[in-house]
Structure 1
Amino acid sequence: MTISSTPEGVSVQPRHIRFDVSEDLKSFWHGNDAFRTAFFNALSLQFPDGEQQFINAVRLYRDRIDDPKLQAEIRGFIGQEALHSREHKTYNDGLKARGYDIDAIDERFARHMRWVGSLPPSRQLAGTCAAEHYTAVLANAILQNPEWMQDATPAMARLWRWHAIEETEHKSVAFDVYRACVGNERLRRIIFLFVTWNFFKHTFLNTCSLLKTDGKLWSLRTWLGGLNFLWGKPGVIRRCLPEFLAYLRKDFHPWQQDNRLLLERNLRELGSV
């Protein structure tokens, strides 16, 4: 019986690409804008531990999957997430070299991840599905709106595009494992609310920590520009909000947002950069 819902033509395979962004991280790499730079850096700080937890949660159930296609996609998912974790660890080391207190930020998030890792397997997997939904929606938005990254340095724009492509490719893997092995729709939606709170909380706290080091924490101009970026124009969060909330539908599935053509186009463009 086929359990995998990854569409025909979408391959969940890791790409062994390395990114040297150490020089980019010495500046406000996103258009010399402190808030935009801090926002994306704040997301990066959650990836090494967060994506390792995603891997751990799926591994708890992989032996219960009989579908060869989904088993292959689980291997691809683990490989992709491991490489994301590696590249963002290098990225975050660059932030530390610039003078940010990354150890303190990491410890704050690591405490949360240790708590998540102590939960029952079903809750860990539900949390992974919810977090994967956030990354998939943001990934789609980045791929669909290249102007959001047009002021970024070329190396950083390429890194974020690569990550967005692979998050899109494997966006249903954890969900398919959950549906096959747990299948509790009420739990799926409840855990989503907890993940929503923690995702935005840690992104906000990380952004504040970075802006404080930059001397921009109390800059009204920085925050007004940031609020416009997230909620005004282009409105990164505002534009994603309907897709974020779609997860609460009883019939939700990640590939209801069918962005295969967008994925194909970005794959071609990534190879030409």
Structure 2
Amino acid sequence: MASSSTPNGVSVQPRHLRFDVSEELKTFWHGNDAFRTAFFNALSLQFPDGEQQFINAVRLYRDRIDDPKLTAEIRGFIGQEALHSREHKGYNEALKARGYDIDAIDRRFARHMKWVNRLPPSRQLAGTCGAEHYTAVLANAILSHPEWMEGATPTMAQLWRWHAIEETEHKSVAFDVYRECIGDDKLRRIVFLFVTWNFFKYTFLNTCSLLRTDGKLWSLRTWIGGLNFLWGKPGVIRKCLPEFLAYLRKDFHPWQQDNRLLLEKSLRELESAPLAR
């Protein structure tokens, strides 16, 4: 019988928060920096369709789970991801209102998701596990390095903190379902390579599309600053790389990165801030 590996004290429960980011998204909300703003916006553009696919992939197997704790966490996972999708739809609509060609970006990603949805269920769930690993590692990094969000408007910083907290809480749910229902470790790691390619591909393409509209696509200064942000100092991708690659270990498990204390601290900060409702 499958069992949940979510540690004691970690609850997978959706928080019904709403964020009005329409004013923030009229600006370079991340410290008036075009690249940093575009990078986070590019991630947001993948979330509504991506997180709906995660939900669908887990639903394909939830009837095969007997453990009451894991069953409850699947419900929590679906609820959290549905609310993330809702908030990022609003986020992305605000980007569209600013003048970005979000429809074209959505069509490009929708073609990819249509292909994903035609894959066998085992591949879909393996892909969900891989993508959830990327979101969990980035979530941990955002919570661990608050300086990476320095200069962000308070509401945007709060939205990304909320999303990061819930990605951390449910980071092992799809993995536990996969381990029980499929358990093919070789498939898990092979599919992760495809997930890696597509994650970086669409983040890069989306960032370029947004920068083109901003008139910054061919700005050397913008790209030097962006490469420094990702690979130099602070080095968002550089510092995450060892944790990204940990997924390829045969004995990998999401909670090997035990960040419960960070999660507790981040929850206190979320609850003390008056910005979300």
CA deviation string 1:59-95 (max 9, x = no partner): 0000000000000000000000000000000000000
* 1:46 aligned counterpart, secondary structure: helix
* 1:221 aligned counterpart, secondary structure: helix
In the alignment, is the contact (CA less than 8 A) between 1:229 and 1:236 conserved in 2?
yes
Separation in 2, partners of 1:151, 1:178: 39
* 1:176 aligned counterpart, secondary structure: helix
Separation in 2, partners of 1:151, 1:27: 12
**Length-normalised TM-score, structure 1:** 1.00
In the alignment, is the contact (CA less than 8 A) between 2:2 and 2:177 conserved in 1?
no
Show the counterpart of 1:228: 228
Show the counterpart of 2:117: 117
CA deviation string 1:103-155 (max 9, x = no partner): 00001001100100000000000000000000000000000000100210000
Structure 2 residue identity aligned to 1:196: T
Per the TM alignment, residue 3 of structure 1 is displaced from its structure 2 partner at its CA by: 1.0
Show the counterpart of 1:41: 41
Separation in 2, partners of 1:219, 1:150: 23
After TM superposition, the runs of 4+ consecutive aligned structure 1 residues lying more than 3 A away are none
Per the TM alignment, residue 100 of structure 1 is displaced from its structure 2 partner at its CA by: 0.1
Show the counterpart of 2:185: 185
Separation in 2, partners of 1:233, 1:57: 37
- Does 2:76 align with 1:100? no
CA RMSD of the aligned region, Å?
0.5
Structure 1 residue identity aligned to 2:181: C
Show the counterpart of 1:32: 32
Separation in 2, partners of 1:151, 1:270: 18
* 2:165 aligned counterpart, secondary structure: helix
Structure 1 residue identity aligned to 2:208: C
CA deviation string 1:29-50 (max 9, x = no partner): 0000000000000000000000
Separation in 1, partners of 2:11, 2:153: 28
- Does 2:9 align with 1:9? yes
Structure 2 residue identity aligned to 1:177: V
Per the TM alignment, residue 23 of structure 1 is displaced from its structure 2 partner at its CA by: 0.1
- Does 2:55 align with 1:55? yes
Unaligned runs of 5+ in 2: none
CA deviation string 1:194-218 (max 9, x = no partner): 0000000000000000000000000
Task: Point out the more displaced range, 44-53 or 2-11.
Answer: 2-11
Separation in 2, partners of 1:152, 1:69: 37
Separation in 2, partners of 1:207, 1:122: 31
Show the counterpart of 2:173: 173
Show the counterpart of 1:146: 146
Per the TM alignment, residue 2 of structure 1 is displaced from its structure 2 partner at its CA by: 5.4
CA deviation string 1:149-190 (max 9, x = no partner): 021000000000000000000000000000000000000000
Structure 2 residue identity aligned to 1:138: L
- Does 2:75 align with 1:64? no
Separation in 2, partners of 1:52, 1:239: 28
Separation in 2, partners of 1:34, 1:162: 23
Unaligned runs of 5+ in 1: none
* 1:8 aligned counterpart, secondary structure: coil
Separation in 1, partners of 2:102, 2:78: 25
Show the counterpart of 1:202: 202
Show the counterpart of 1:212: 212
Separation in 2, partners of 1:40, 1:232: 17
In the alignment, is the contact (CA less than 8 A) between 1:2 and 1:69 conserved in 2?
no
Separation in 2, partners of 1:127, 1:67: 23
Structure 2 residue identity aligned to 1:4: S
Q: How does 1:68-87 map to 2 (within 5 A)?
A: 68-87=68-87
* 1:4 aligned counterpart, secondary structure: coil
Structure 1 residue identity aligned to 2:99: G
Per the TM alignment, residue 247 of structure 1 is displaced from its structure 2 partner at its CA by: 0.1
* 2:31 aligned counterpart, secondary structure: coil
Separation in 2, partners of 1:221, 1:77: 41
* 1:17 aligned counterpart, secondary structure: coil
Q: How does 1:152-163 map to 2 (within 5 A)?
A: 152-163=152-163
Separation in 2, partners of 1:6, 1:151: 33
Q: What is the aligned length?
A: 273
